Amino acid sequence: MKSLANKVVALTGAGSGIGRALAIELARKGSHLALADVNADGLQETVEALPPGATVSTHIVDVAQKQQVYDWADTVVKQHGGVDVIINNAGVASQCSIEDISYDDFNWVFDIVFYGVLYGTKAFLPYLHQRPEGHIINISSVNGFFPFPGNSPYNCAKHAVKALNQTLIQELAGANIHVTSVHPGGIKTNIVRNARHIKALDGTRDAAEAAARFDKIASTTPEKAAQTIVSGILKNKQRLLVGTDAYLLDGLTRLFPQRFSNLVGRVMLRGARPGDKSSPAHRI
Ligand SMILES: NC(=O)c1ccc[n+]([C@@H]2O[C@H](COP(=O)([O-])OP(=O)(O)OC[C@H]3O[C@@H](n4cnc5c(N)ncnc54)[C@H](O)[C@@H]3O)[C@@H](O)[C@H]2O)c1
């Protein structure tokens, strides 16, 4: 897509972090926005942060609820006259081992992070086909190609999003719909603050401590992430890494797929073991 001006963009998770920054960046490019989130206050703050004159509608949508996502797609088309771009960005995380996590907690993450993206893709696809050019942007993560211990539902869901994106790219090759699989590294947002801190493996005691630690190591701002994503859309990138840490992880994973994973697991969990004074890292 060469220009986003006057394009209708539907965006989930627009009430915070990367979603908010994307809404602002897209409004600057002249896009018409249909912003969705479960958090009404967050959405309102995003609207207030948009440049004057932006065309925007807001929608309370829980992306884990299939019918809500399909109803939203219909509403967007009614209100904006069509839709050119869907960005499936909403996400949540949790901290717990595979052994200890309940199925309810596992499904909470998986339903939002994977099924939310699947519903958003399938609900909007028929409408994208009606436009001269369409674009699907699904936010995966570095966790979509590299798992971190204590994040199993997130790792699995983000790998599934990556697989969904690659399959879409294959299946839509003959259509005028582009697909971008986005893999951010650490972005300084509320993702850890909003996570279910069930029983962290990395030694952190609660969500506030985990968030403070995450804020120290997350190397990219949401604004920079949004600029990279928008520039990736304009270049029709199929796979987009966001942040220097994402490039580093990608390179090390290609070079030493299993040994690097084992090393990260050992380093991250070291602090959780009795008598170990090292500081474990934390990543989403
Ligand atoms: N922050 C990072 O380091 C990082 C790294 C890689 C990928 N990501 C991904 O980026 C995306 C955005 O996350 P963020 O970092 O901006 O986090 P964030 O917590 O700041 O924002 C997430 C937004 O999603 C919304 N949301 C949560 N559950 C929802 C639901 N069921 N339906 C609709 N909206 C819902 C929240 O209300 C919030 O506004 C997520 O998919 C996340 O997994 C983030």
pLDDT tens-place string over residues 172-205: 999 999 999 999 999 999 999 999 999 888 778 8
Domains of the chain are 81-270 (3.40.50.720)
C-beta 16 within 6 A of ligand 1: yes
DSSP annotation of 143: G
Q: What is the mean pLDDT of residues 56-67?
A: 99
**pLDDT at residue 201, rounded to an integer:** 86
**pLDDT at residue 280, rounded to an integer:** 47
CB–CB of 214/282 below 8 Å? yes
Whether residue 70 lies in the annotated active site:
no
Rounded-to-integer distance, Cα 155 and Cα 153, Å: 6
CB–CB of 195/80 below 8 Å? no
Rounded-to-integer distance, Cα 26 and Cα 5, Å: 8
Q: How buried is 103 (Cβ within 10 angstroms: 0-12 exposed, 13-18 middle, 19+ buried)? A: exposed
**pLDDT at residue 200, rounded to an integer:** 87
How many CB atoms lie under 10 A from the CB of residue 177?
Answer: 23
**pLDDT at residue 270, rounded to an integer:** 83
**pLDDT at residue 203, rounded to an integer:** 76
Ligand 1 center–CA 139 separation, angstroms? 9
Ligand 1 atom, smallest distance to 220 CA = 3
Rounded-to-integer distance, Cα 271 and Cα 57, Å: 46
Ligand 1 center–CA 274 separation, angstroms? 33
**Torsion sign, CA atoms 87, 32, 54, 67:** negative
Which tokens belong to 250?
């990608």
Which tokens belong to 130?
């009606």
Model confidence pLDDT, tens digit, residues 64-82: 999 999 999 999 999 999 9
Q: From start to end of 96-248, where are the E strands?
A: 134-139, 177-184, 196-197, 239-242
Given 115, 119, 127, 154, the catalytic residue? 154
C-beta 35 within 6 A of ligand 1: no
Model confidence pLDDT, tens digit, residues 158-167: 999 999 999 9
DSSP annotation of 197: E
CB–CB of 135/233 below 8 Å? yes
Q: How buried is 242 (Cβ within 10 angstroms: 0-12 exposed, 13-18 middle, 19+ buried)? A: buried
Q: What is the mean pLDDT of residues 133-139?
A: 99
Q: Indicate which residue's Cα is closest to atom 8 of ligand 1.
A: 141
Rounded-to-integer distance, Cα 221 and Cα 162, Å: 23
Rounded-to-integer distance, Cα 175 and Cα 189, Å: 35
Ligand 1 center–CA 273 separation, angstroms? 30
| Beta carbons within 8 Å of 42's beta carbon, 6+ residues apart | 14, 15, 16, 20
Rounded-to-integer distance, Cα 204 and Cα 197, Å: 9
